[in-house]
Chain A
Amino acid sequence: NAGVMQNPRHLVRRRGQEARLRCSPMKGHSHVYWYRQLPEEGLKFMVYLQKENIIDESGMPKERFSAEFPKEGPSILRIQQVVRGDSAAYFCASSRDGVVNTEAFFGQGTRLTVV
């Protein structure tokens, strides 16, 4: 059973470009969470999705950021018109039944660098 797969591992974008981060949850997991981590800091919640639904996007900036988890395919975190402040590590986690009941497993992350 493969773990949570994120790609790309590293992404370099120029200011103003778009960044697309992908996350494939573990097999059988229907809950996906996206987090952002700055160097030497903890993880900050961004968005929680289930298949075709955004459950909670309270941690996601209102502008330029969007997320989806389609019926087929990976979850996508999309950042439009990136700025230097978007540079960070973005982690995706998945769980089978939601974190109230089950463990959440993380991917290796995507390190976004905006130049």
Chain B
Amino acid sequence: SQQGEEDPQALSIQEGENATMNCSYKTSINNLQWYRQNSGRGLVHLILIRSNEREKHSGRLRVTLDTSKKSSSLLITASRAADTASYFCATDSRMDSSYKLIFGSGTRLLVRP
């Protein structure tokens, strides 16, 4: 079953604008990870935020986590055409017999030059 759900499913912005993507999840977590996937490629790890953290930064990326609302957001500031990709959140969920990453369906970001 799906754990994370990203919102919006697709986002189109102009280069230089900020992009915000949201992720909601259902069960308690230890951490949440964000990934980027360029078309036809593998996943690139962007950032890990732990359940006791509220905000984390990495370059132009800012991630927030609200465990009370079971949600996270990824903000990309001053977007570039090269940021065009799909973005996924993944939570470490104990489903069935082990902890593993459960992914949402992703947000497809298009940055127009």
Question: Once A and B bind, how many residue pairs between them come within 8 Å at the CB atom?
Answer: 67
Interface string of A38-54 (1 = CB under 8 A from B): 00011111001000000
Report if A104-B103 is in contact (Cβ < 8 Å); known contacts: A56-B96, A99-B92.
no
Residue A25 is within 8 A (CB to CB) of chain B in the complex: no
- Partner pick for B97 among A56, A98, A109, CB 8 A cutoff: A56
Report whether B95 and A58 are in contact in the complex, using a CB–CB cutoff of 8 Å.
yes
Total chain B interface residues with beta-carbon distance under 8 A: 27
Report if A91-B95 is in contact (Cβ < 8 Å); known contacts: A33-B101, A43-B88.
no
Taking Cβ atoms with an 8 Å cutoff, the residues of B that contact A are: 2, 30-31, 33, 35, 40-45, 48, 88, 90, 92, 95-106
Given contacts A99-B92, A99-B99, A104-B33, list 10 more A-B pairs with CB under 8 A: A42-B2, A43-B103, A56-B97, A56-B98, A58-B96, A99-B101, A100-B30, A105-B45, A106-B35, A109-B42
Residue A18 is within 8 A (CB to CB) of chain B in the complex: no
Taking Cβ atoms with an 8 Å cutoff, the residues of A that contact B are: 6, 33, 35, 41-45, 48, 55-56, 58, 91, 93, 98-101, 103-109, 111
Closest Cβ of chain B to A62, distance in Å, is 14
- Partner pick for A45 among B40, B42, B102, CB 8 A cutoff: B102
Report if A58-B104 is in contact (Cβ < 8 Å); known contacts: A103-B45, A106-B42.
no
Report whether A56 and B42 are in contact in the complex, using a CB–CB cutoff of 8 Å.
no
Give the CA-CA distance A42 to B92 in the complex, in Å: 15
Closest Cβ of chain A to B105, distance in Å, is 4
